[in-house]
Amino acid sequence: MSGWLGGWLLLCAAGVLATLGAALWRVWRGPARADRMMAAQLVGTGGVAVLLLLAPAQGWAALDVALVLAILAALAAVGFVKASTPDGAGAPEEADAPADPATDSARGDRDVA
Amino acid sequence: MWLDLSSFALTALGLFFFVAGTAGLLRFPDTFSRLHALTKADNLGLGCVALGVALQAAHWTDVLKLALIWALALLAAGTVAQLVARAALSEPRARKRAGERP
Amino acid sequence: MTGTMTGAAALLLDLLLVALVAFAGWAALAGRGVFRAVVFFIAYGLLVALGWVRLGAVNVALAEAAIGAGLTGVLLLATVGRLERAGAARDVPPVRGAAAWVPALAGLGVTGALVWAWFALPLPESPGPALAEALPRSGVENPVTAVLLNFRSWDTLLEAIVLLAALLGVWMLGRDGDWDAPLGLRQHVRPGGVMAGFGRVLPPLGLLVGVWLLWAGADAPGGAFQGGTVLAAVIVVALMAGVATPPGVSALPLRAALVLGPGVFLGAGGVLAALGGGFLTLPEAQAKVVIVAIEAALTLSIAVTLAGLVLGPPTAANGTAEGGAEPNANGPAAGRRA
Protein backbone atom coordinates (compact mmCIF):
# COMPACT_ATOMS: atom_id res chain seq x y z
CA MET A 1 0.00 0.00 0.00
CA SER A 2 1.46 3.33 -0.99
CA GLY A 3 1.51 6.32 1.34
CA TRP A 4 -1.14 8.39 -0.37
CA LEU A 5 -3.65 5.57 -0.10
CA GLY A 6 -3.11 5.33 3.67
CA GLY A 7 -3.91 9.04 3.95
CA TRP A 8 -6.96 8.64 1.73
CA LEU A 9 -8.38 5.75 3.76
CA LEU A 10 -8.16 7.84 6.93
CA LEU A 11 -9.78 10.77 5.15
CA CYS A 12 -12.51 8.47 3.88
CA ALA A 13 -13.03 7.20 7.45
CA ALA A 14 -13.37 10.82 8.58
CA GLY A 15 -15.96 11.34 5.83
CA VAL A 16 -18.04 8.38 6.97
CA LEU A 17 -17.71 9.62 10.55
CA ALA A 18 -19.09 12.99 9.46
CA THR A 19 -22.21 11.27 8.08
CA LEU A 20 -22.61 9.66 11.52
CA GLY A 21 -22.85 13.18 12.95
CA ALA A 22 -25.89 13.70 10.75
CA ALA A 23 -27.30 10.39 11.99
CA LEU A 24 -26.91 11.59 15.60
CA TRP A 25 -28.92 14.68 14.66
CA ARG A 26 -31.70 12.36 13.47
CA VAL A 27 -31.55 10.46 16.76
CA TRP A 28 -32.06 13.78 18.55
CA ARG A 29 -34.81 15.01 16.26
CA GLY A 30 -36.85 11.81 15.78
CA PRO A 31 -39.79 12.25 15.57
CA ALA A 32 -40.80 8.57 15.53
CA ARG A 33 -38.98 6.05 17.66
CA ALA A 34 -38.26 4.09 14.50
CA ASP A 35 -36.35 7.13 13.20
CA ARG A 36 -34.16 7.23 16.28
CA MET A 37 -33.53 3.50 16.25
CA MET A 38 -32.73 3.38 12.54
CA ALA A 39 -30.37 6.32 12.91
CA ALA A 40 -28.60 4.33 15.64
CA GLN A 41 -28.42 1.44 13.16
CA LEU A 42 -26.72 3.83 10.73
CA VAL A 43 -24.20 4.67 13.45
CA GLY A 44 -23.61 0.91 13.68
CA THR A 45 -23.16 0.35 9.93
CA GLY A 46 -21.06 3.50 9.59
CA GLY A 47 -18.98 2.45 12.59
CA VAL A 48 -18.31 -0.88 10.88
CA ALA A 49 -17.23 0.99 7.72
CA VAL A 50 -14.90 3.23 9.74
CA LEU A 51 -13.33 0.14 11.34
CA LEU A 52 -12.78 -1.46 7.93
CA LEU A 53 -11.12 1.71 6.66
CA LEU A 54 -8.90 1.84 9.74
CA ALA A 55 -7.84 -1.81 9.44
CA PRO A 56 -4.99 -1.42 6.90
CA ALA A 57 -3.40 1.33 9.00
CA GLN A 58 -4.24 0.19 12.54
CA GLY A 59 -3.92 -3.54 12.26
CA TRP A 60 -6.34 -6.11 10.96
CA ALA A 61 -7.61 -6.94 14.44
CA ALA A 62 -9.97 -3.98 13.91
CA LEU A 63 -11.98 -6.37 11.72
CA ASP A 64 -12.84 -8.44 14.80
CA VAL A 65 -14.35 -5.34 16.41
CA ALA A 66 -16.31 -4.77 13.19
CA LEU A 67 -17.65 -8.35 13.36
CA VAL A 68 -18.77 -7.87 16.95
CA LEU A 69 -20.40 -4.51 16.12
CA ALA A 70 -22.29 -6.05 13.20
CA ILE A 71 -23.73 -8.83 15.38
CA LEU A 72 -24.51 -6.72 18.42
CA ALA A 73 -26.12 -3.90 16.42
CA ALA A 74 -28.56 -6.46 15.05
CA LEU A 75 -29.26 -7.66 18.60
CA ALA A 76 -30.02 -4.09 19.76
CA ALA A 77 -32.49 -3.65 16.90
CA VAL A 78 -34.23 -6.94 17.69
CA GLY A 79 -34.40 -5.81 21.32
CA PHE A 80 -36.05 -2.56 20.25
CA VAL A 81 -38.61 -4.35 18.11
CA LYS A 82 -39.44 -6.76 20.94
CA ALA A 83 -39.80 -3.98 23.50
CA SER A 84 -42.18 -2.07 21.22
CA THR A 85 -44.73 -4.91 21.13
CA PRO A 86 -47.65 -4.87 23.60
CA ASP A 87 -46.31 -7.47 26.01
CA GLY A 88 -42.63 -6.95 25.29
CA ALA A 89 -42.23 -10.45 23.91
CA GLY A 90 -43.99 -10.49 20.57
CA ALA A 91 -43.14 -9.50 17.03
CA PRO A 92 -44.76 -6.65 15.11
CA GLU A 93 -45.42 -8.93 12.15
CA GLU A 94 -47.74 -11.14 14.25
CA ALA A 95 -50.49 -8.60 14.67
CA ASP A 96 -50.41 -8.03 11.01
CA ALA A 97 -53.39 -6.53 9.36
CA PRO A 98 -51.88 -5.65 6.02
CA ALA A 99 -55.30 -4.84 4.60
CA ASP A 100 -54.84 -1.10 4.18
CA PRO A 101 -51.18 -0.08 4.08
CA ALA A 102 -51.97 3.41 2.74
CA THR A 103 -53.74 4.64 5.87
CA ASP A 104 -51.28 2.84 8.09
CA SER A 105 -48.24 4.57 6.63
CA ALA A 106 -49.89 7.97 6.93
CA ARG A 107 -50.63 7.32 10.59
CA GLY A 108 -47.27 5.81 11.30
CA ASP A 109 -45.46 9.07 10.95
CA ARG A 110 -47.68 12.00 11.63
CA ASP A 111 -49.35 11.13 14.89
CA VAL A 112 -46.15 11.43 16.83
CA ALA A 113 -44.70 14.65 15.40
CA MET B 1 -0.51 0.71 -8.43
CA TRP B 2 -3.70 -0.53 -10.13
CA LEU B 3 -4.65 -2.24 -6.90
CA ASP B 4 -4.27 1.03 -5.01
CA LEU B 5 -6.25 2.95 -7.60
CA SER B 6 -9.06 0.37 -7.44
CA SER B 7 -9.06 0.62 -3.65
CA PHE B 8 -9.29 4.37 -3.95
CA ALA B 9 -12.18 4.23 -6.41
CA LEU B 10 -14.15 1.65 -4.42
CA THR B 11 -13.77 3.38 -1.07
CA ALA B 12 -14.68 6.71 -2.67
CA LEU B 13 -17.80 5.11 -4.11
CA GLY B 14 -18.58 3.68 -0.68
CA LEU B 15 -18.24 7.11 0.90
CA PHE B 16 -20.57 8.50 -1.78
CA PHE B 17 -23.26 5.98 -0.87
CA PHE B 18 -22.92 6.76 2.83
CA VAL B 19 -23.32 10.47 2.09
CA ALA B 20 -26.31 9.70 -0.15
CA GLY B 21 -27.96 7.55 2.54
CA THR B 22 -27.41 10.26 5.11
CA ALA B 23 -28.87 12.89 2.81
CA GLY B 24 -31.97 10.71 2.61
CA LEU B 25 -32.03 10.35 6.40
CA LEU B 26 -31.94 14.11 6.77
CA ARG B 27 -34.16 15.23 3.90
CA PHE B 28 -36.86 12.61 3.31
CA PRO B 29 -40.28 13.63 4.63
CA ASP B 30 -41.49 10.58 6.58
CA THR B 31 -40.27 7.65 8.65
CA PHE B 32 -40.77 5.00 5.99
CA SER B 33 -38.95 6.81 3.19
CA ARG B 34 -36.08 7.47 5.58
CA LEU B 35 -35.93 3.78 6.52
CA HIS B 36 -35.87 2.94 2.86
CA ALA B 37 -33.03 5.36 2.05
CA LEU B 38 -30.95 4.25 4.96
CA THR B 39 -30.93 0.48 4.78
CA LYS B 40 -30.13 0.27 1.09
CA ALA B 41 -27.59 3.04 0.50
CA ASP B 42 -25.60 2.25 3.63
CA ASN B 43 -25.13 -1.39 2.95
CA LEU B 44 -24.16 -0.75 -0.64
CA GLY B 45 -21.62 1.73 0.72
CA LEU B 46 -20.35 -0.79 3.23
CA GLY B 47 -19.97 -3.37 0.45
CA CYS B 48 -17.88 -0.98 -1.66
CA VAL B 49 -15.72 -0.11 1.33
CA ALA B 50 -15.24 -3.79 2.18
CA LEU B 51 -14.23 -4.58 -1.40
CA GLY B 52 -11.83 -1.65 -1.52
CA VAL B 53 -10.20 -2.64 1.78
CA ALA B 54 -10.08 -6.32 0.75
CA LEU B 55 -7.73 -5.38 -2.11
CA GLN B 56 -5.23 -4.25 0.54
CA ALA B 57 -5.60 -7.31 2.77
CA ALA B 58 -2.39 -9.06 3.74
CA HIS B 59 -3.93 -12.48 4.29
CA TRP B 60 -6.84 -14.38 2.80
CA THR B 61 -8.46 -14.83 6.22
CA ASP B 62 -8.91 -11.05 6.37
CA VAL B 63 -10.75 -11.16 3.05
CA LEU B 64 -12.94 -13.90 4.48
CA LYS B 65 -13.68 -11.77 7.55
CA LEU B 66 -14.56 -8.80 5.34
CA ALA B 67 -17.00 -10.97 3.41
CA LEU B 68 -18.54 -12.25 6.65
CA ILE B 69 -18.89 -8.70 7.99
CA TRP B 70 -20.73 -7.59 4.88
CA ALA B 71 -22.93 -10.68 4.85
CA LEU B 72 -23.85 -10.09 8.50
CA ALA B 73 -24.60 -6.42 7.84
CA LEU B 74 -26.82 -7.27 4.86
CA LEU B 75 -28.68 -9.96 6.78
CA ALA B 76 -29.20 -7.71 9.79
CA ALA B 77 -30.21 -4.68 7.72
CA GLY B 78 -32.82 -6.59 5.74
CA THR B 79 -34.36 -8.11 8.86
CA VAL B 80 -34.18 -4.99 10.95
CA ALA B 81 -35.65 -2.70 8.28
CA GLN B 82 -38.62 -5.02 7.92
CA LEU B 83 -39.24 -5.34 11.66
CA VAL B 84 -38.63 -1.70 12.57
CA ALA B 85 -40.96 -0.56 9.80
CA ARG B 86 -43.70 -2.78 11.19
CA ALA B 87 -42.98 -1.58 14.71
CA ALA B 88 -43.29 1.99 13.41
CA LEU B 89 -46.75 1.20 12.03
CA SER B 90 -48.01 0.42 15.52
CA GLU B 91 -46.00 3.10 17.25
CA PRO B 92 -48.73 5.71 17.75
CA ARG B 93 -50.76 3.10 19.62
CA ALA B 94 -47.78 2.15 21.73
CA ARG B 95 -47.12 5.73 22.70
CA LYS B 96 -50.71 6.38 23.65
CA ARG B 97 -50.58 3.32 25.82
CA ALA B 98 -47.55 4.71 27.57
CA GLY B 99 -49.40 7.91 28.35
CA GLU B 100 -47.06 10.18 26.41
CA ARG B 101 -48.37 13.31 24.79
CA PRO B 102 -49.48 12.63 21.22
CA MET C 1 4.31 15.21 1.63
CA THR C 2 2.18 12.10 2.02
CA GLY C 3 3.24 11.94 5.64
CA THR C 4 1.73 15.31 6.48
CA MET C 5 -1.43 14.42 4.56
CA THR C 6 -1.83 11.22 6.56
CA GLY C 7 -1.23 13.16 9.75
CA ALA C 8 -3.81 15.77 8.83
CA ALA C 9 -6.37 13.12 7.92
CA ALA C 10 -5.73 11.30 11.20
CA LEU C 11 -6.12 14.54 13.15
CA LEU C 12 -9.39 15.35 11.37
CA LEU C 13 -10.68 11.83 12.10
CA ASP C 14 -9.76 12.04 15.77
CA LEU C 15 -11.25 15.50 16.26
CA LEU C 16 -14.50 14.40 14.62
CA LEU C 17 -14.61 11.28 16.76
CA VAL C 18 -14.04 13.25 19.97
CA ALA C 19 -16.78 15.71 19.00
CA LEU C 20 -19.25 12.91 18.24
CA VAL C 21 -18.47 11.02 21.48
CA ALA C 22 -18.89 14.22 23.50
CA PHE C 23 -22.18 15.06 21.74
CA ALA C 24 -23.62 11.55 22.16
CA GLY C 25 -22.68 11.55 25.85
CA TRP C 26 -24.19 14.99 26.41
CA ALA C 27 -27.35 14.12 24.49
CA ALA C 28 -27.87 10.93 26.50
CA LEU C 29 -27.85 13.01 29.69
CA ALA C 30 -29.46 16.23 28.54
CA GLY C 31 -32.49 15.06 26.59
CA ARG C 32 -35.91 14.64 28.19
CA GLY C 33 -37.25 11.46 26.66
CA VAL C 34 -36.02 8.25 28.25
CA PHE C 35 -36.13 6.37 24.96
CA ARG C 36 -34.00 8.96 23.20
CA ALA C 37 -31.47 8.83 26.04
CA VAL C 38 -31.21 5.06 25.65
CA VAL C 39 -30.63 5.31 21.88
CA PHE C 40 -27.92 7.90 22.48
CA PHE C 41 -26.35 5.58 25.05
CA ILE C 42 -26.15 2.85 22.38
CA ALA C 43 -24.65 5.27 19.83
CA TYR C 44 -22.21 6.45 22.50
CA GLY C 45 -21.04 2.86 23.07
CA LEU C 46 -20.48 2.35 19.34
CA LEU C 47 -18.47 5.56 19.01
CA VAL C 48 -16.39 4.86 22.11
CA ALA C 49 -15.52 1.45 20.64
CA LEU C 50 -14.14 3.30 17.58
CA GLY C 51 -12.16 5.51 19.93
CA TRP C 52 -10.58 2.51 21.64
CA VAL C 53 -9.53 1.12 18.25
CA ARG C 54 -7.92 4.49 17.41
CA LEU C 55 -6.03 4.25 20.71
CA GLY C 56 -4.82 0.75 19.80
CA ALA C 57 -6.78 -0.93 22.63
CA VAL C 58 -8.60 -3.53 20.54
CA ASN C 59 -9.38 -5.75 23.55
CA VAL C 60 -11.22 -2.88 25.23
CA ALA C 61 -12.94 -1.96 21.97
CA LEU C 62 -14.27 -5.50 21.66
CA ALA C 63 -15.66 -5.43 25.18
CA GLU C 64 -17.19 -1.97 24.73
CA ALA C 65 -18.82 -2.91 21.42
CA ALA C 66 -20.24 -6.14 22.84
CA ILE C 67 -21.28 -5.07 26.34
CA GLY C 68 -21.58 -1.27 26.23
CA ALA C 69 -23.42 -0.91 22.95
CA GLY C 70 -25.01 -4.34 22.58
CA LEU C 71 -26.16 -6.16 25.69
CA THR C 72 -26.60 -3.08 27.92
CA GLY C 73 -28.52 -1.40 25.11
CA VAL C 74 -30.95 -4.33 24.87
CA LEU C 75 -31.36 -4.35 28.64
CA LEU C 76 -32.17 -0.62 28.70
CA LEU C 77 -34.58 -0.87 25.75
CA ALA C 78 -36.40 -3.72 27.50
CA THR C 79 -36.52 -1.61 30.67
CA VAL C 80 -38.14 1.31 28.84
CA GLY C 81 -40.73 -1.05 27.38
CA ARG C 82 -41.45 -2.58 30.77
CA LEU C 83 -41.82 0.79 32.50
CA GLU C 84 -44.30 1.89 29.85
CA ARG C 85 -46.34 -1.28 30.14
CA ALA C 86 -46.52 -0.75 33.89
CA GLY C 87 -47.60 2.87 33.31
CA ALA C 88 -44.55 4.05 35.22
CA ALA C 89 -42.70 5.87 32.43
CA ARG C 90 -42.49 9.61 33.07
CA ASP C 91 -40.61 12.42 31.46
CA VAL C 92 -38.47 14.05 34.10
CA PRO C 93 -38.44 17.87 34.04
CA PRO C 94 -34.98 19.31 33.41
CA VAL C 95 -32.92 20.02 36.52
CA ARG C 96 -32.22 23.72 37.20
CA GLY C 97 -30.34 25.85 39.69
CA ALA C 98 -27.86 24.47 42.20
CA ALA C 99 -29.00 20.90 41.56
CA ALA C 100 -27.70 21.30 38.00
CA TRP C 101 -24.48 23.26 38.41
CA VAL C 102 -23.07 21.57 41.50
CA PRO C 103 -22.83 18.13 39.78
CA ALA C 104 -21.64 19.90 36.61
CA LEU C 105 -18.83 21.61 38.53
CA ALA C 106 -17.95 18.35 40.29
CA GLY C 107 -17.78 16.57 36.92
CA LEU C 108 -15.62 19.32 35.45
CA GLY C 109 -13.36 19.10 38.51
CA VAL C 110 -12.85 15.35 38.07
CA THR C 111 -12.18 15.85 34.35
CA GLY C 112 -9.69 18.60 35.13
CA ALA C 113 -7.92 16.42 37.68
CA LEU C 114 -7.70 13.56 35.17
CA VAL C 115 -6.30 15.87 32.48
CA TRP C 116 -3.76 17.19 34.98
CA ALA C 117 -2.80 13.66 36.01
CA TRP C 118 -2.41 12.64 32.37
CA PHE C 119 0.09 15.42 31.76
CA ALA C 120 1.82 15.06 35.12
CA LEU C 121 2.47 11.31 34.92
CA PRO C 122 5.26 9.92 32.76
CA LEU C 123 4.04 8.17 29.61
CA PRO C 124 3.96 4.43 30.32
CA GLU C 125 5.98 2.16 28.12
CA SER C 126 3.88 -0.31 26.20
CA PRO C 127 3.41 -3.01 27.42
CA GLY C 128 5.72 -2.10 30.31
CA PRO C 129 9.15 -3.56 31.07
CA ALA C 130 7.99 -5.97 33.78
CA LEU C 131 5.26 -7.42 31.55
CA ALA C 132 7.52 -7.58 28.50
CA GLU C 133 10.01 -9.58 30.55
CA ALA C 134 7.38 -11.96 31.99
CA LEU C 135 5.24 -12.39 28.84
CA PRO C 136 7.30 -15.20 27.27
CA ARG C 137 6.72 -17.31 30.40
CA SER C 138 2.94 -16.76 30.46
CA GLY C 139 2.05 -19.36 27.81
CA VAL C 140 0.18 -16.85 25.61
CA GLU C 141 1.18 -13.94 23.40
CA ASN C 142 -1.73 -11.57 24.01
CA PRO C 143 -0.53 -9.46 26.97
CA VAL C 144 -4.11 -8.81 28.10
CA THR C 145 -4.88 -12.53 28.28
CA ALA C 146 -1.55 -13.11 30.05
CA VAL C 147 -2.50 -10.60 32.75
CA LEU C 148 -6.14 -11.72 33.07
CA LEU C 149 -5.54 -15.45 33.21
CA ASN C 150 -2.01 -15.86 34.50
CA PHE C 151 -0.47 -12.95 36.40
CA ARG C 152 -3.67 -11.64 37.96
CA SER C 153 -6.01 -14.60 37.58
CA TRP C 154 -7.44 -14.03 41.07
CA ASP C 155 -9.23 -10.93 39.77
CA THR C 156 -10.70 -12.82 36.84
CA LEU C 157 -11.82 -15.72 39.02
CA LEU C 158 -13.63 -13.37 41.39
CA GLU C 159 -15.17 -11.48 38.45
CA ALA C 160 -16.62 -14.72 37.10
CA ILE C 161 -18.11 -15.44 40.54
CA VAL C 162 -19.49 -11.88 40.83
CA LEU C 163 -21.24 -12.37 37.50
CA LEU C 164 -22.86 -15.54 38.81
CA ALA C 165 -23.92 -13.76 42.01
CA ALA C 166 -25.50 -10.99 39.91
CA LEU C 167 -27.58 -13.58 38.05
CA LEU C 168 -28.74 -15.10 41.35
CA GLY C 169 -29.73 -11.58 42.44
CA VAL C 170 -31.84 -11.16 39.30
CA TRP C 171 -33.51 -14.52 39.85
CA MET C 172 -34.50 -13.47 43.37
CA LEU C 173 -36.68 -10.78 41.81
CA GLY C 174 -38.96 -13.48 40.44
CA ARG C 175 -42.21 -14.24 42.24
CA ASP C 176 -42.53 -17.28 44.47
CA GLY C 177 -45.20 -18.88 42.32
CA ASP C 178 -43.14 -18.37 39.17
CA TRP C 179 -40.08 -20.17 40.42
CA ASP C 180 -40.55 -23.26 38.24
CA ALA C 181 -41.37 -21.24 35.12
CA PRO C 182 -38.90 -20.70 32.26
CA LEU C 183 -36.60 -17.65 32.43
CA GLY C 184 -37.88 -14.35 31.10
CA LEU C 185 -41.03 -13.53 29.17
CA ARG C 186 -42.77 -16.10 26.94
CA GLN C 187 -41.58 -15.07 23.50
CA HIS C 188 -43.88 -15.48 20.55
CA VAL C 189 -43.38 -14.62 16.88
CA ARG C 190 -45.15 -15.23 13.61
CA PRO C 191 -44.17 -18.76 12.56
CA GLY C 192 -42.08 -18.58 9.42
CA GLY C 193 -41.89 -14.79 9.74
CA VAL C 194 -38.91 -12.48 9.38
CA MET C 195 -37.90 -12.62 13.04
CA ALA C 196 -38.20 -16.39 13.25
CA GLY C 197 -35.99 -16.67 10.16
CA PHE C 198 -33.41 -14.29 11.59
CA GLY C 199 -33.27 -16.35 14.79
CA ARG C 200 -32.28 -19.36 12.73
CA VAL C 201 -29.74 -17.75 10.41
CA LEU C 202 -27.82 -15.59 12.88
CA PRO C 203 -26.81 -18.25 15.48
CA PRO C 204 -24.46 -20.28 13.22
CA LEU C 205 -22.65 -17.11 12.10
CA GLY C 206 -22.53 -15.75 15.64
CA LEU C 207 -21.26 -19.07 16.98
CA LEU C 208 -18.44 -18.93 14.44
CA VAL C 209 -17.49 -15.39 15.52
CA GLY C 210 -17.74 -16.16 19.24
CA VAL C 211 -15.55 -19.24 19.02
CA TRP C 212 -13.10 -17.36 16.80
CA LEU C 213 -12.75 -14.60 19.41
CA LEU C 214 -12.08 -17.19 22.12
CA TRP C 215 -9.53 -18.95 19.91
CA ALA C 216 -7.83 -15.72 18.83
CA GLY C 217 -7.64 -14.49 22.42
CA ALA C 218 -4.48 -16.43 23.22
CA ASP C 219 -2.31 -14.56 20.74
CA ALA C 220 -4.37 -11.63 19.51
CA PRO C 221 -7.13 -9.38 20.89
CA GLY C 222 -10.14 -11.41 22.02
CA GLY C 223 -10.75 -13.87 24.84
CA ALA C 224 -13.37 -15.39 27.10
CA PHE C 225 -15.32 -12.21 27.90
CA GLN C 226 -15.51 -11.01 24.30
CA GLY C 227 -16.34 -14.43 22.88
CA GLY C 228 -18.81 -15.11 25.70
CA THR C 229 -20.65 -11.84 25.08
CA VAL C 230 -21.07 -12.60 21.38
CA LEU C 231 -22.40 -16.06 22.25
CA ALA C 232 -24.76 -14.48 24.79
CA ALA C 233 -26.08 -12.19 22.05
CA VAL C 234 -26.64 -15.23 19.84
CA ILE C 235 -28.52 -17.04 22.60
CA VAL C 236 -30.70 -13.99 23.28
CA VAL C 237 -31.55 -13.49 19.59
CA ALA C 238 -32.40 -17.18 19.16
CA LEU C 239 -34.65 -17.18 22.25
CA MET C 240 -36.32 -13.88 21.32
CA ALA C 241 -37.02 -15.32 17.88
CA GLY C 242 -38.79 -18.22 19.54
CA VAL C 243 -36.38 -20.86 18.25
CA ALA C 244 -36.31 -22.47 21.70
CA THR C 245 -37.91 -21.99 25.10
CA PRO C 246 -35.50 -20.96 27.86
CA PRO C 247 -35.03 -23.49 30.68
CA GLY C 248 -36.19 -22.94 34.24
CA VAL C 249 -33.78 -22.19 37.08
CA SER C 250 -33.73 -25.77 38.27
CA ALA C 251 -32.73 -27.25 34.89
CA LEU C 252 -29.56 -29.22 35.43
CA PRO C 253 -27.86 -28.35 32.09
CA LEU C 254 -28.39 -24.64 32.80
CA ARG C 255 -26.88 -24.90 36.27
CA ALA C 256 -23.98 -26.97 34.98
CA ALA C 257 -23.24 -24.37 32.28
CA LEU C 258 -23.36 -21.56 34.85
CA VAL C 259 -20.87 -23.11 37.27
CA LEU C 260 -18.60 -24.78 34.71
CA GLY C 261 -16.34 -21.72 34.25
CA PRO C 262 -15.84 -20.78 37.92
CA GLY C 263 -15.66 -24.53 38.71
CA VAL C 264 -12.87 -25.29 36.25
CA PHE C 265 -11.08 -22.13 37.36
CA LEU C 266 -11.25 -23.08 41.06
CA GLY C 267 -10.42 -26.71 40.26
CA ALA C 268 -7.33 -25.73 38.29
CA GLY C 269 -6.24 -23.52 41.19
CA GLY C 270 -6.77 -26.35 43.67
CA VAL C 271 -4.90 -28.92 41.59
CA LEU C 272 -1.97 -26.56 41.06
CA ALA C 273 -1.88 -25.78 44.78
CA ALA C 274 -1.89 -29.52 45.59
CA LEU C 275 0.98 -30.08 43.16
CA GLY C 276 2.97 -27.59 45.18
CA GLY C 277 3.04 -24.61 42.84
CA GLY C 278 0.59 -22.50 44.80
CA PHE C 279 -3.03 -21.51 44.07
CA LEU C 280 -3.33 -20.52 40.38
CA THR C 281 0.43 -20.27 39.93
CA LEU C 282 0.72 -21.69 36.43
CA PRO C 283 3.82 -23.76 35.65
CA GLU C 284 5.48 -22.40 32.51
CA ALA C 285 5.31 -25.65 30.52
CA GLN C 286 1.59 -26.26 31.02
CA ALA C 287 0.48 -22.63 31.17
CA LYS C 288 -1.06 -22.51 27.71
CA VAL C 289 -3.12 -25.70 28.16
CA VAL C 290 -4.44 -24.55 31.53
CA ILE C 291 -5.27 -21.07 30.22
CA VAL C 292 -7.08 -22.39 27.16
CA ALA C 293 -9.07 -24.89 29.27
CA ILE C 294 -10.10 -22.19 31.77
CA GLU C 295 -10.98 -19.78 28.98
CA ALA C 296 -13.11 -22.28 27.10
CA ALA C 297 -15.08 -23.15 30.25
CA LEU C 298 -15.38 -19.46 31.20
CA THR C 299 -16.66 -18.53 27.74
CA LEU C 300 -19.57 -20.94 28.05
CA SER C 301 -20.42 -19.77 31.57
CA ILE C 302 -20.16 -16.09 30.66
CA ALA C 303 -22.37 -16.61 27.61
CA VAL C 304 -25.10 -18.36 29.60
CA THR C 305 -24.84 -15.96 32.56
CA LEU C 306 -25.07 -12.81 30.43
CA ALA C 307 -27.96 -14.25 28.42
CA GLY C 308 -29.70 -15.06 31.73
CA LEU C 309 -29.15 -11.49 32.95
CA VAL C 310 -30.77 -10.10 29.79
CA LEU C 311 -33.69 -12.56 29.91
CA GLY C 312 -34.56 -11.77 33.52
CA PRO C 313 -36.10 -13.80 36.36
CA PRO C 314 -38.41 -16.79 35.81
CA THR C 315 -41.85 -15.53 34.78
CA ALA C 316 -44.98 -17.64 34.56
CA ALA C 317 -46.94 -15.29 32.31
CA ASN C 318 -46.32 -12.12 30.35
CA GLY C 319 -47.96 -8.85 31.26
CA THR C 320 -48.50 -7.48 34.74
CA ALA C 321 -51.89 -7.72 36.37
CA GLU C 322 -53.84 -9.55 33.68
CA GLY C 323 -51.45 -12.40 33.19
CA GLY C 324 -51.41 -14.42 30.02
CA ALA C 325 -49.78 -13.52 26.76
CA GLU C 326 -51.79 -11.43 24.37
CA PRO C 327 -50.35 -12.02 20.93
CA ASN C 328 -52.60 -9.51 19.21
CA ALA C 329 -51.31 -5.92 19.13
CA ASN C 330 -54.87 -4.63 19.08
CA GLY C 331 -55.93 -6.87 21.95
CA PRO C 332 -57.59 -5.50 25.06
CA ALA C 333 -54.71 -6.44 27.37
CA ALA C 334 -52.45 -4.09 25.42
CA GLY C 335 -54.30 -0.96 26.46
CA ARG C 336 -54.80 -1.54 30.15
CA ARG C 337 -52.53 -0.18 32.81
CA ALA C 338 -51.39 -2.18 35.78
For residue range C211-259, list pLDDT tens digits in order.
888 887 766 777 778 888 889 989 988 888 888 888 888 888 888 989 8
CB atoms within 10 A of CB C174: 17
Q: How far apart are CA C231 and CA C303, in angstroms?
A: 5
Residues C79 and C161 in one domain: no
Q: Would you say residue B83 lies in a domain?
A: yes
Provide the domain limits for residue C18: 13-119
Q: Would you say residue A98 lies in a domain?
A: no
Q: Would you say residue A99 lies in a domain?
A: no
Global confidence as pTM: 0.83
Residues C72 and C205 in one domain: no
Q: Would you say residue A64 lies in a domain?
A: yes
Q: Would you say residue B102 lies in a domain?
A: no
Q: Would you say residue C222 lies in a domain?
A: yes
Residues C313 and C265 in one domain: yes
Residues C71 and C162 in one domain: no
Q: Would you say residue A66 lies in a domain?
A: yes
Segment C65-84, tens digit of pLDDT: 888 878 888 888 888 888 88
Confidence of residue B95 (pLDDT cuts 50, 70, 90): low
Q: Would you say residue C133 lies in a domain?
A: no
pLDDT for residue B38: 78
A62, A78, A93 ranked by CB distance to C237: nearest: A78
pLDDT for residue C116: 94
How many structural domains compose chain B? 1
Q: Would you say residue A57 lies in a domain?
A: yes
How many structural domains compose chain C? 2
B23 touches C at CB < 8 Å: no
Residues C163 and C301 in one domain: yes
Q: Would you say residue C99 lies in a domain?
A: yes
- Please identify, among C119, C149, C182, the residue that sits at the C-terminal boundary of a domain: C119
Residues C111 and C165 in one domain: no
Q: Would you say residue A96 lies in a domain?
A: no
Confidence of residue A48 (pLDDT cuts 50, 70, 90): very high
Residues C65 and C146 in one domain: no
Provide the domain limits for residue A72: 3-91
Provide the domain limits for residue B12: 2-97
Q: Would you say residue A103 lies in a domain?
A: no
Contact A45 B31 (CB under 8 A): no
Q: How far apart are CA B39 and CA C162, in angstroms?
A: 40
Residues C159 and C301 in one domain: yes
Chain C contacts in chain B segment 61-80 (CB below 8 A):
68, 71-72, 75-76, 79
